[in-house]
Amino acid sequence: MNTQLLLNERPVGFPSEQVWKLEKTEIPALTDGQLLVKVLYVSLDPAMRGWINDARSYVPPVQINEVMRSGGVGKVVDSKHPKFQVGDHVYGMSNIQEYCVTDGYGWVKVDPELMPLPRYLGTLGMPGFTAYFGLLDIGQPKEGETVLVSGAAGAVGSVVGQIAKIKGCRAVGIAGGAEKCRYVVEELGFDACIDYKNDNVYAGIKEHCPKGIDIYFDNVGGEILDIALSRINQGARIPICGAISQYNNKENVKGPANYLSLLVNGARMEGFVVIQFTHRYGEAAKQLGQWVAQGKIKSREHVEKGIENFYPTFKRLFSGEKQGKLVLQIGDED
Amino acid sequence: MNTQLLLNERPVGFPSEQVWKLEKTEIPALTDGQLLVKVLYVSLDPAMRGWINDARSYVPPVQINEVMRSGGVGKVVDSKHPKFQVGDHVYGMSNIQEYCVTDGYGWVKVDPELMPLPRYLGTLGMPGFTAYFGLLDIGQPKEGETVLVSGAAGAVGSVVGQIAKIKGCRAVGIAGGAEKCRYVVEELGFDACIDYKNDNVYAGIKEHCPKGIDIYFDNVGGEILDIALSRINQGARIPICGAISQYNNKENVKGPANYLSLLVNGARMEGFVVIQFTHRYGEAAKQLGQWVAQGKIKSREHVEKGIENFYPTFKRLFSGEKQGKLVLQIGDED
């Protein structure tokens, strides 16, 4: 038997517990070319909030009674697929369920000897790739520039700032709370981190970005985006990766009132989703793997346990009660 | 004696007549390296509204009791400058006054035989250059793409759409009123034009941009920017040239609430000011001159007369009671 997390209803504003439901179903027999994955860890990401809206986006919305979408790592427990053997560890769009039957499309093998499995959902997975392409391709950092990143203690932001340092930039983070800021500066090596929950962000940017902002990597939107816009340099780049402050709005998204700063500064704001770069995931995985192995990129995963704990864990994405990549453990190696 | 238009006070919201005042002053004697220009035509542009705010921008604000900033064309009536002779026609930052004493920095000669003088303030001047660099460098049009432009009957927008056609794109305009829309389609050769004063802009875009929007060249901001954002294609570019709907706000600018469309479409919004491209004005002047000579770019100038009519003429920028480039004639040849 399989336990699956299904979308039960569409949320308005912040999702209530009733938005999802657990259901037990039978695991279908494999046909030729399929494999059965026992799901060990699934990735919890702010983007999930978008996937359950009934709106045109870069992927189709999750439908009511469909299994909730998610990336996951697991172990092959049965296979009629030529490329995957029983015992292989794999990453793919497992969705949130104990077992996943798939034709292997988009699935890759991962090595648990090299890295702890949850890291393949973080720094060595989509969030790491998002940071890599978002900073390097969209942001185009040059040595000596100042890179400001919000959500700096998160799965994406933490990697953005560390790549910025590798590229010879000044890296300044924005995060919520003194402990996260300490982590960002002392453990991850950012030059500074502004605590938006306790400090004045405008004053913090003025102090820690004394030469202005060349790249603002935005994960949060809202007021912080507007403040950053007011301090950008000529030719600045603003990769728009997310807008977590706006995802649960019942009313309209707050648009950046200071967007005309782009005009007077000849600057650009550019959105992206990591799947634009699918053909280059191999490059990102290799480079990030090297940097992790060399100790140039550090990361943390915050692991919660049990598919039945999906909802309280999901809430941590928005409350910020986590440190590093948020992962839910669904099953055990055995 | 010289008559000058001075900034008298800073406006809040839409400028009243008291924001400027006329003053008579003596014309100082020329020193070596200077020339005296009799100003014939000055350019009236929406950007003027920004120049009189006390705010950090791409040029310093006009100060109280300074002559109001403006580009102009005129005739050299006295010269101690080696490059300019009496009788030469010239373009430069004349500001709004009958006579201008200058060291010639940034001034260029123009040929009244080739084009009527007011055109050097429009298609063959800053607005034309703005369209040229904004569309070609910021927008990067490719053959077969759809280019939507607001302010399509205006000095910049009219040239944007015509260059889009030259480059093999579908050009769709947005303008205010049936007569402007007729002009844009029948005289300028756009494929379609949406009348935002009488028609539903969303429906108009859906009808006239059936393959979505690849480039939205924005002169207006506000609600139209938000509607355009909701219809962009993957990889779309949005050159931000202006935001005339927002320049006279007493409260905050309305930020684009749909900016997350940039994210899901991997699209970018890029601001620019024409002075970023100063080193390439020669290229733009030559190419635009050719296109005009070949009849591929048409233009109109709306000329009002008399420095004392500055204020009612200025108001036309925002009421839209004009067709083509708005120019104020300050003096006569002779």
d(CA A45, CA A130): 12
Distance from CA of A35 to the nearest CA of B (A): 31
Cβ-Cβ contacts under 8 Å, B61 against chain A: none
Contact B243 A254 (CB under 8 A): no
Contact A270 B267 (CB under 8 A): yes
**What pLDDT does A56 receive?**
82
Contact between B257 and A225 under an 8 Å Cβ cutoff? The reply is: no
d(CA A271, CA B169): 24
Q: For residue A166, with 0-12 CB atoms within 10 Å meaning exposed, 13-18 middle and 19 or more buried, which class applies?
A: middle
Q: Which contiguous run of DSSP H or E holds residue A20?
A: strand A20-25
Contact A257 B252 (CB under 8 A): yes
Pick the closest to residue B256 from B234, B223, B279 (CA basis): B223
Cβ-Cβ contacts under 8 Å, A272 against chain B: 263, 266
Cβ-Cβ contacts under 8 Å, B254 against chain A: 255, 257
Contact between A224 and A254 under an 8 Å Cβ cutoff? The reply is: no
Distance from CA of A49 to the nearest CA of B (A): 14
pLDDT tens-digit readout, A257-283: 999 999 999 999 999 999 999 999 999
pLDDT tens-digit readout, A68-96: 999 999 999 999 999 999 999 999 999 99
> Of the candidates A242, A254, A260, which has its C-beta nearest B243's C-beta?
A260
Contact B271 A260 (CB under 8 A): yes
CA contacts within 13 A on the Cβ side of A228: 32
Suggest the residue from A130, A216, A232, A264 to mutate for an interface test with chain B (most B CBs closer than 10 A). A264
Token pair of B326 as six digits: 């708005």
Token pair of A241 as six digits: 């990766």
A156 touches chain B (CB under 8 A): no
Identify any residues that bridge with A6 across adjacent strands, giving them in sequence order. A21, A67
For residue A251, is pLDDT > 90?
Answer: no
Contact between B245 and B174 under an 8 Å Cβ cutoff? The reply is: no
Distance from CA of A82 to the nearest CA of B (A): 35
Contact B257 A254 (CB under 8 A): yes
Contact between B281 and B132 under an 8 Å Cβ cutoff? The reply is: no
Contact B260 A270 (CB under 8 A): no
d(CA A243, CA A225): 9
pLDDT tens-digit readout, A196-205: 999 999 999 9
Contact B271 A268 (CB under 8 A): yes
3-state helix, strand, coil in chain B (%, to 5): 30, 25, 45
Strands B72-79 and B89-92: antiparallel
Contact B269 A265 (CB under 8 A): no
How many beta-carbon pairs under 8 angstroms link A with B?
111
- A:224-243 residues touching chain B, CB 8 A cutoff: 226, 240-243
B203 touches chain A (CB under 8 A): no
Suggest the residue from B219, B233, B269, B278 to mutate for an interface test with chain A (most A CBs closer than 10 A). B269
Suggest the residue from A137, A217, A268 to mutate for an interface test with chain B (most B CBs closer than 10 A). A268
Contact A270 B269 (CB under 8 A): yes
A265 touches chain B (CB under 8 A): yes
Distance from CA of A104 to the nearest CA of B (A): 26
Domains of chain B plus CATH, in order, are 2-122+300-329 (3.90.180.10), 126-275 (3.40.50.720)
**What pLDDT does B237 receive?**
98
> Of the candidates A221, A256, A268, which has its C-beta nearest B270's C-beta?
A268
pLDDT tens-digit readout, A234-246: 999 999 999 999 9
Contact between B268 and A271 under an 8 Å Cβ cutoff? The reply is: yes
d(CA A124, CA A110): 10
Distance from CA of A243 to the nearest CA of B (A): 8
Suggest the residue from B51, B263, B264, B265 to mutate for an interface test with chain A (most A CBs closer than 10 A). B263
d(CA B292, CA B119): 11
A254 touches chain B (CB under 8 A): yes
CA contacts within 13 A on the Cβ side of A325: 29
B246 touches chain A (CB under 8 A): yes
Token pair of B50 as six digits: 């920004």
> Of the candidates B240, B256, B266, which has its C-beta nearest A255's C-beta?
B256
d(CA A21, CA B228): 38
Cβ-Cβ contacts under 8 Å, B267 against chain A: 270-271
Its pTM stands at 0.93
**The residue count for chain B:** 334
Q: B281-293 vs B157-166: helix axis angle to the nearest 10?
A: 70
Say what the ipTM of the complex is.
0.91
A221 touches chain B (CB under 8 A): yes
**What pLDDT does B249 receive?**
87
pLDDT tens-digit readout, A287-317: 999 999 999 999 999 999 999 999 999 999 9
User: How far apart, in Å, are the Cα atoms of A290 and each of A117, A119, A191, B85, B219?
Assistant: 17, 14, 22, 67, 46
B33 touches chain A (CB under 8 A): no
Strands A35-43 and A325-329: antiparallel
Contact B259 A240 (CB under 8 A): yes
Measured between its terminal Cα atoms, the distance across chain B in Å is 17
> Of the candidates B252, B264, B272, which has its C-beta nearest A263's C-beta?
B272
Task: Please report which confidence band the pLDDT of residue A224 belongs to, taking 50, 70 and 90 as the band edges.
Answer: very high
A202 touches chain B (CB under 8 A): no
Q: B126-133 vs B281-293: helix axis angle to the nearest 10?
A: 100
Pick the closest to residue B267 from B303, B292, B238, B297 (CA basis): B238
Which residue reads 């019942």 in tokens?
Answer: A250
d(CA B319, CA B314): 9
d(CA B75, CA B91): 9
Per-residue tens of pLDDT for chain B, all 334 residues: 999 999 999 999 999 999 999 999 999 999 999 999 999 999 999 999 999 999 888 899 999 999 999 999 999 999 999 999 999 999 999 999 999 999 999 999 999 999 999 999 999 999 999 999 999 999 999 999 999 999 999 999 999 999 999 999 999 999 999 999 999 999 999 999 999 999 999 999 999 999 999 999 999 999 999 999 999 999 999 999 999 999 888 888 999 999 999 999 999 999 999 999 999 999 999 999 999 999 999 999 999 999 999 999 999 999 999 988 999 999 998 8
Q: For residue B241, with 0-12 CB atoms within 10 Å meaning exposed, 13-18 middle and 19 or more buried, which class applies?
A: buried
Contact between A116 and A110 under an 8 Å Cβ cutoff? The reply is: no
d(CA B270, CA A5): 41
Cβ-Cβ contacts under 8 Å, A252 against chain B: 257
d(CA A277, CA A134): 10
Contact B271 A270 (CB under 8 A): no
